[in-house]
Chain A
Amino acid sequence: MVSSAVPPCPHCGQPLAPFRLPDDGGWDGTFQYACFNDECAYFVHGWAWMEEHYGVRSSYRYRLDPASGQASPIPVWSRTALRDRIIEDDVLAASPDEDVIPGDAPGQGGEGI
């Protein structure tokens, strides 16, 4: 699903895809956008950057909140992380305001993971 109002990834120019937010993320919508292009330089370089600077096997993807326009890196531990949360075109088109998937985490209250 690519909304015409949603800008492309500023790092690779590819379209962003909507993904369902994890319930404990604290965001107040049900979905946001991220760049899931595995060739995106931001994502590709992120692995080496995180390993070198923080000693972790992690990278990040570009994330955009469509409501506020705010963006930030969201951490991913594998190429497949968050991918199963990508929302297909027809689901989002059919129920844009619905909770497309009920929150799937019990109440941890947001401390750590």
Chain B
Amino acid sequence: MVDFKTVEVETDLLILGGGMAACGAAVEAAYWAKQHGLKVTLVDKAAVDRSGAVAMGLSAINQYVGLRDGQNTIKDYVDYVRNDLMGVTREDLVANIARHVDSTVHLFEKWGLPIWKDEKGAYVHEGRWQLMINGESYKVVVAEAAKNALGKENIYERVFIVGPIMDGERCVGAYGFSVRENTFYVFKAKAVIAAMGGAVHVFKPRSSGEGQGRAWYPPWNAGASAYFTLKAGAEMTCQEVRFIPVRFKDAYGPVGAWFLLFKSRATNALGENYMETRKPELENWLPYGHVKPVPANLRNYLGMLDVMEGKGPILMRTEEAIQKIAAGSGDEKAAKKKLKELESEAWEDFLDMTISQAILWAATNTAPEEKSSEIAAAEPYFIGSHSGASGAWVSGPKDLAPAEYFWGYENMSTVRGLFCAGDASGASSHKFSSGSHAEGRIAAKSAIRYIVDEKPAAPALDAVKVAALKAEVFKPIETFQQFKGATTQSDVNPNYIRPKMFQMRLQKLMDEYAGGVTSQFTTSEALLKKGLELLAFLKEDAAKLAAADLHELMRCWENFHRMYQAEAHVRSIMFREETRWPGYYFRSDKPKMDEKNWHCFVNCRLNPASDEWEMSKKPIVHMFQQG
């Protein structure tokens, strides 16, 4: 057995994660902590400069409300989010982020992020809420501010957090391990902020085999937030509300530029535009079928109906769009020149954001000016900061939240001392990058206030408990060492399961029983029950996960985390006896939306004492006039 040293770190506020929400938390916490003489520590499994969903950069900031110029109101943003989520949203949380997000964007600009402005200083809006940016180094700019605020001595990079440390019903820290050195870490804190992102690769991805690792959402977001909050005993919400983006098939290339810049059409194989031919279907999802813009899941659904009827593949008519623009640019010579220019722009669009799509085009001899490319609904993602809504059930702010949604400290989960932001907090979708940063700031200020007001006792953790946690963390390494000699092929062994095989089993069962890509996003109670049965077997076998090295140990724990996200999802879909987001998942046995019985949140909790799941309905309290 390799000797792993133990490092214990004591702090006041512990921030887990390194993405936008964690960076927002770091900046805000550092400010308030300084005033109260408190210590703040941040732990990231990667490197803060390029971690989280914004790692690769973005071309736009997607949440800017424009309050100071009267561009929009907070109600406008709440209306937009509520409608897109088919009525299911915590308006107090969305409003809280909306009223603070502009100041976050102004900070980004102050820190050096180029946001497009006209000659008079007005922001160039790509959409109502979207600002254009030169965002290749967006995350680096935001990370630099966070690192400067905290000081590098308070940041632990390349440390993977496995789970929470509890003191009774209070969260008092976290434990994990270095992914580079043989070190076990114990972080003891008075309050903890979970901001470790959402989850991808819970479902079988479209890109499998040689394409494994390609995903729309970053593959390193592996359900750490969901596991951490669930294991702490926190109530979770909207675990059924997954997100499915439509992208170029198999390499997830963005479609936006094709619609907005090239004015391309998406049609089925028969040349029909499903957004026109399927428009009457929207009447079945009222009142949300009538709102503008049409909710993302309903737009997905119209295309899915064509696919299910055998009218696929769905094609982005790139050749038609390019030829049309070129033809309209003048004589033959001008048209030829324009064609060349458009061809370059088409490739550049992918090379900017999704290089793998350009590689796939090259590998398949795709000339966008000559032939169409397939687009498709991707596999489901858990991304509460975007158009999904999964996350922990957190307290709203005192001045906005109704009594049902308030328990003392905004963004605190139902577990004392455990705060959540970004993908870790639920029912507050459409935060995107800027809103996640703003929510991190909100959570951090609240967490510092909790520490100052409540003066929680310094956590006590005895050596026996530390040793038990350490043994749990490194068990996969021990298992591998113990049994690796039993067979000549190390992947095939009756005594253990390697993380890659474990992941494939999880993805296969989720795909087939919980409405993944190959089951056309359709499931039913019977299928979900079968899925739970298989999940129980998987959970049993999780005790035999084996890791040959630290990297594989991380993979073991990532997949362990994903398994908990999967179970919360299956149980929530099963509990909600209706279909509300047909373009995200469809319950074939409950095919209609049921506003009377299910205009509510579905919450769940894994009881730490009994290890049993508790499901509940929570009312949706509207703050703003509907309509």
Contacts and interface: CB of A to CB of B under 8 A. Distances in A.
- Please indicate whether A and B come from the same complex rather than being unrelated chains: yes
A60 interface: yes
B259 interface: yes
State the main secondary structure of chain B at its contact with A.
Answer: loop
Interface string A1-30: 000000000000000000001111111111
A108 B246 contact: yes
Contacts of B80: 26, 28
A105 interface: yes
Interface stretch (B58-66, B391-399, B493-501): B58-66
Interface of chain A: mostly helix, strand, loop or mixed = loop
A111 B383 CA distance: 12
A107 to B, nearest CB: 3
B299 A23 contact: yes
A44 B124 CA distance: 15
A84 interface: yes
Contacts of B125: 63, 72-75
Contacts of B266: 104-106
Contacts, number: 173
B292 A109 contact: no
Interface string B236-248: 0000000111110
B71 A24 contact: no
Contacts of B303: 106
Contacts of B583: 107
Contacts of B134: 54-56
B127 A105 contact: no
B70 A70 contact: yes
B215 interface: no
Contacts of B300: 106-107
B116 A50 contact: yes
Interface in A21-51: 21-30, 42, 45-46, 49-50
B123 A27 contact: no
A49 B118 contact: yes
B128 A26 contact: yes
Contacts of B257: 113
Interface string A71-99: 01111011011001100000000000001
B59 A113 contact: yes
B255 A102 contact: no
Contact of B127 (A25, A77, A107): A25
B538 interface: no
B310 interface: no
Contacts of A27: 127-128, 292-293
A75 B255 contact: no
B116 A81 contact: no
A107 B571 CA distance: 26
Given A24-B293, A75-B116, A113-B59, A107 B122 contact: no
A106 B62 contact: no
B245 A107 contact: yes
Contact of A108 (B273, B295, B296): B296
B151 interface: no
Nearest to B264: A104
B98 to A, nearest CB: 13
B318 interface: no
Interface string B252-266: 001111011101011
B299 A112 contact: no
Given A28-B79, A106-B299, A110-B129, A73 B245 contact: no
B259 A28 contact: no
B132 interface: yes
A113 B71 CA distance: 22
B126 A80 contact: no
B454 interface: no
B261 A81 contact: yes
B353 interface: yes
B265 A24 contact: no
B114 interface: yes
A85 to B, nearest CB: 8
Contact of A110 (B246, B275, B276, B387): B387
A104 B62 contact: no
B437 interface: no
Interface of B: 58-60, 62, 66, 69-72, 76, 79-80, 84, 114, 116-119, 122-130, 132, 134, 243-247, 254-257, 259-261, 263, 265-266, 273, 275-276, 279, 291-300, 302-303, 325, 328-329, 345, 353, 375, 377, 386-387, 430, 432, 583
24 contacts: A24-B260, A25-B126, A25-B130, A25-B293, A27-B127, A28-B79, A28-B291, A50-B116, A54-B116, A54-B134, A70-B70, A73-B125, A102-B275, A104-B275, A105-B299, A106-B246, A106-B300, A106-B377, A107-B299, A108-B245, A109-B245, A110-B430, A110-B432, A112-B256
10 interchain residue pairs of minimum CB distance: A113-B256, A107-B296, A109-B387, A106-B246, A25-B127, A26-B128, A107-B299, A107-B300, A105-B259, A109-B296
Given A28-B79, A107-B300, 16 more contacts: A23-B294, A24-B256, A25-B128, A26-B127, A26-B128, A28-B80, A68-B72, A103-B294, A106-B375, A106-B377, A107-B298, A108-B245, A110-B129, A111-B432, A113-B126, A113-B261
